[in-house]
Chain A
Amino acid sequence: MTEGLQGPAPDERPQPSGRRNAQGIRIDPEVAAEPESRRTVLSALVENEPGVLAKISGLVSRRQFNIESLTVGTTTNPETSRVTLVIEEPEPGVRQVEKQLDKVINVISVRELGDDAVRRELVVLKVHGEEPDKVNAVTEMYDGTTLDAGPRTITVQITGDEQKIDDAIDAFRQFGIRELARTGQTALARGEEWTTHAEEERYERVHDT
């Protein structure tokens, strides 16, 4: 105990040549590249209890996940709600959101939906009412519904996938959009596929009794 710490200095030691990327994945130094983000939909079946939405939104914000939209509503079973999140993350981030959501005790089941999932969004927008005929034409073009028409404003609703909503909003800009509210996407798996793993079992349990 009189020598102090010994050994070769940092730059005298052998160092391995391998590298990992920011996600901790080993990479070939020749083709080092950050994974690209992708936009996807996660669906979570949750217990319908007070505070569940706060837990999920708190989880999302404190872990810095890049969330595009989050929608919630009850299901046919009054004890459960469905949460639909649209996220934009690289692959490891998508998996992390899924696993962190699954850790929340009130979350029953969670899954990423495929590209073929049925996705819908609703927008309610209010435009200036000087040209009601033209507004009506655009509304019809997007299979929308007029909810309110007054001398100065017209309010319409449009439903559809995200792209259609974006296009519709663009089309309505010519009249001057006063206000707008969009819901964010909600979605179900297509066809006979169950949206999350727990759904079939829960469906049968409810329909047996």
Chain B
Amino acid sequence: MSEQQPTHRPDADEPATAEATTAEEMAADDASAEAASPEDDAGARPVTTGSESVVRALETAGVEHLFGVQGGAIMPVYDALYDSDLSHVTMAHEQGAAHAADAYGIVSGDPGVCLATSGPGATNLVTGLADASLDSDPMIALTGQVPTAMVGSDAFQEADTTGITSPVTKENYFASDADTVGDAVGEAFALADEGRQGPTLVDLPKDVTNGATEQEPAAGSTPETYDPPERAEREAVTAAADAIASAERPVILAGGGVIKAEACDELRQFATEYGIPVVTTMPAVGAFPEDHDLAMEMAGMHGTGYANMAITHCDAMFAVGTRFDDRLTGGVETFAPEAEIVHADIDPAEISKNVHADYPLLGDAGTVIDQVHDALAEERAADMSATGERWTAWREQCRDWKDEYPMDYATPADEPLKPQFVVEAVDAATADDTIVTTGVGQHQMWAVQYWTYTQPRTWVSSHGLGTMGYGLPSAIGARFAADDDQSVVCFDGDGSFLMTLQELAVAVRENLDITVFVLNNEAVGMVRQWQDGFFEGRRMASEYPWIPDFETLAEAFGARGYTINATDDESEVEDVVSEALGYDGPSVVDAHIDPTENVYPMVPSGGANGEFVLAEDQL
């Protein structure tokens, strides 16, 4: 058997099944020739086990980094990784592995990979999977499982992983056979990446990964039943272009799908050529440069006043790659109530799910933007009198709103340090391509409001699920996906940081150049803000009576620690920011901010976007 092994590696374009009948003849004729150059193809090492097939499938898919935690049922896969060139990052907790893989996918555009063992390892991934699912981030999770013969017996470290993760994955697989396990991994990888991206999972029983197989995994492809649309139908595009051309007050609403589809160039060309203001959702921050004249920035609950005015008063909305989340729309009854809505999405189920689409366009974001762009050009040709002059008044109105509702914060003399200032100071001290990751809470909103994002894939945050603790592990994942000369900073809150700060051990072990700015107000600030606004100031469990000294804690982990006191003046703050950014390794800046500062503007939950409040007394 062993001398036949080389012939069991099919050529790339040769079906594996063809060799079975002729294996013996081929062995006689070609074995020596094949064996002479095994390192020429991807299959330099012959596959002998299911776990080697899993690793081969990852290599074939172009994976470079894995984020995971060892454990009993996943050990065969780790054993196969021992012989591979894949770089594995051992995380402190599986949730950290999932968030790191998620952020890796956001920054690189390719699926991030996380691994965990069965039972508790797999269930610890669930938060990260749900996070990636709501944000349509490309990610693949590989989980160990008890041997197939023990499945269903409540065996040690057994959990129904495919059952538990079904609602939070795009698709999941229970691998049942060593011969096909590599194919399942390849298919999961392809599915995570194609169409509307999302997380997939392959559950790997120990006997399957330990099982003998010589089957090389096929190049990963999506199943036959999966057929995402590419181009919108011509009639639909013409009708949509008509609606936009005949509008008086059009806006573009760019969603996260614009970045996922690599359609930012098409977006910018479309918007600038026709002079249409651009509003983004939170996942789309960076899709359109925020320093551009047409940029209205982020809309929604904590969006800018001008973005919310623009979407409230528009009469046509070209929404691309957004699912109209309630944090964006506010109360749906008052969302863009006079607008004809053109909704482009690759997922048909998003059309008219939350907001009725008058003009649905199914397809890839970049392709559809180009289609509408060209159709609008034809509209314009038919109405040349409008060229150049069209929508001038509307653009001026939008500019007026920018003047009327500027993003600003008060800094009276002797006031404690404002969190917005810290964000601005870090922005000023770093390059345009710096990647910002965040936890969830007030700090997240200041980080999105007061940083000027000009490039896609530089804003990494937990949008849909709102996962506290997302910041540090996502900074680790982002660091591995970023260019070497690209900076990675994390804004976190004290509450959020305390949820996953054990990952600092990983950042130190891997010597990752990450700077964490903890905007420390000794509270779960967003909860406290809501309690003050909507629960008569009854601050139940939102204030932290004692917070660790994050500077000392960072040093204990082996990172560099810094403290900014609330009474430090601006130049002192800038000095610490600059020193922390300059340190080549992980560092933590404990910035004690004004604990009374809250996040505004704010659209109260379920309220009308145009009725955003600017201060607590307007609630």
Contacts and interface: CB of A to CB of B under 8 A. Distances in A.
Given A25-B356, A51-B162, A51-B174, A19 B410 contact: no
A62 B335 CA distance: 25
Nearest to A95: B352
Interface in B137-196: 162-163, 166-167, 170-171, 174, 191
A5 B600 contact: yes
A58 interface: yes
Interface residues of B, number: 53
Contacts of A4: 408-410, 615
Interface stretch (A6-14, A141-149, A172-180): A6-14
Given A13-B309, A16-B313, A55-B166, A3 B352 contact: no
A158 B351 CA distance: 41
B163 A103 contact: no
Contacts of A47: 225
B408 A1 contact: yes
Given A16-B338, A51-B162, A54-B166, A108 B356 contact: no
A10 B167 contact: no
A50 B356 CA distance: 35
Interface string B407-443: 1111110000000110010000000000000000000
- Residue of A6, A10, A47 with most partner-chain B CB within 10 A: A10
A20 B337 contact: yes
B216 to A, nearest CB: 24
A24 B197 CA distance: 25
Given A6-B406, A15-B611, A99 B333 contact: no
A5 B166 CA distance: 44
Given A20-B335, A26-B337, A1 B614 contact: no
B78 interface: no
B491 interface: no
Nearest to A18: B337
B610 interface: yes
Interface in A58-92: 58-59, 62, 92
Interface in B575-619: 600-601, 608, 610-615, 618
- Residue of A4, A8, A50, A105 with most partner-chain B CB within 10 A: A105
Contact of B356 (A59, A92, A103): A92
B349 A10 contact: no
Interface in B365-388: none
A156 to B, nearest CB: 37
Nearest to A106: B225
Contact of B349 (A14, A51, A99): A99
B174 A1 contact: no
A55 B171 CA distance: 10
A6 to B, nearest CB: 7
Given A20-B333, A22-B333, A96-B353, A105 B223 contact: yes
A122 to B, nearest CB: 30
A103 B615 contact: no
Interface of B: 162-163, 166-167, 170-171, 174, 191, 223, 225-226, 305, 309, 312-313, 324, 332-335, 337-338, 347-349, 351-356, 404-412, 420-421, 424, 600-601, 608, 610-615, 618
**What 3 pairs across the A-B complex have the smallest Cβ distances?**
A18-B337, A4-B410, A24-B355
22 contacts: A1-B408, A1-B424, A4-B409, A5-B305, A5-B405, A5-B407, A6-B406, A6-B408, A7-B305, A7-B614, A9-B618, A10-B618, A15-B610, A16-B338, A18-B337, A18-B338, A20-B356, A21-B333, A26-B338, A47-B225, A59-B167, A102-B348
